Structure 1
Amino acid sequence: MTKECIFCNPKKDSHQNIIFENESCYFLQHDKQQDVLEGSGVIVPKAHRITTFDLTKQEWMDTYDLLQKARAYLSDRHKPDGFTLGWNVGEASNQTILHSHFHVIPRYNDEPYAGKGLRHWLKQPENKRKK
């Protein structure tokens, strides 16, 4: 745990809500993310783990358990048409908070980017590496 890390100290941010927790992880929702990404949240380990590759086996199992709870909760509360799930690992992937966090993003058929998932942006021709 580090003092400055927002995911190590979720109670320090009044806009951060702990929706569920278990032995090793939290499912968090941030008030300021709800305008565009309605219902979105993250699953984070309580211990400071910089990347997903640093998670323990127990943290993986606890992440799975919270994902199932989050899906039921979000399905009941927000009625999404689908979900986008994912981790960013490293600067090239846009990991801006150096504490592993698993994005749980409800998706809706009436949103402007409906039908466009994680890979859509990555497989655009302009994203091809120059050799």
Structure 2
Amino acid sequence: MTDCVFCLPLVEPYVVLSDEHCYTTFTHDTGTPAGSAMILPRAHRPTVFDLTPDEWASTRTLLHRMRALITELHGPDGWNVGWNTQPTGGQSIPHAHCHLVPRYHDEPLAGRGIRSWIKDPDNRPPHHAPADPAAWYGN
């Protein structure tokens, strides 16, 4: 795909670590925590569900390597790791990318994880899940 901003060679100058299947880059959005990064497949894959087994293995390896690098550079106190998939799931660029977000004890929302918005009662859609978890499984 030639017009994807996450496809190589367009993003090549920003690559931090790489192997034959995936690469890492720091997140360049303003306002992201120091050391925030992404792991992406070299091939254009629209979502995490499109990754090959080799890309999954590469993502895991590069995730660990990037975490070590960010720890050395910034010394975070915690982490968020996650995938946004499709526009409703928060994916703004249709090229799979795993976010590695360092968290710091002195940030205003420290302690709020990636599910904090799910737990917020103000974020319930009209057809929200039943309150009784047993009902999720048809019990």
- 1:46 offset after TM fit, Å? 0.3
Choose 1 or 2 for highest CA Rg: 2
TM-score (norm 2): 0.85
AA aligned to 2:81 is L
TM-score (norm 1): 0.90
- 1:35 offset after TM fit, Å? 4.7
Identify which range, 16-25 or 75-84, moves more after superposition.
Answer: 16-25
Q: 1:28 aligns with which of 21, 25, 38?
A: 25
AA aligned to 2:26 is Q
Task: Report the counterpart of residue 67 of structure 2 in structure 1.
Answer: 71
Matches within 5 A, 1:32-51: 32-33=28-29, 35-51=31-47
How many correspondences in the alignment? Answer: 127
AA aligned to 1:24 is H
The 2-side partners of 1:51 and 1:36 are apart by 22
Whether the 8 Å contact between 1:81 and 1:109 is mirrored in structure 2 is yes
Q: Which runs of 5+ in 2 are unaligned?
A: 128-139
AA aligned to 2:29 is Q
The 1-side partners of 2:11 and 2:98 are apart by 19
AA aligned to 2:19 is N
- 1:40 offset after TM fit, Å? 0.4
- Structure 1 residue matching 2:65: 3-state secondary structure: helix
Q: 1:95 aligns with which of 91, 97, 107?
A: 91
1:112 corresponds to 2:112: no
- 1:34 offset after TM fit, Å? 6.0
1:52 corresponds to 2:48: yes
Task: Report the counterpart of residue 8 of structure 1 in structure 2.
Answer: 7
Segments ≥4 residues shifted beyond 2 Å: 11-14, 32-36
Identical pairs, percent: 40
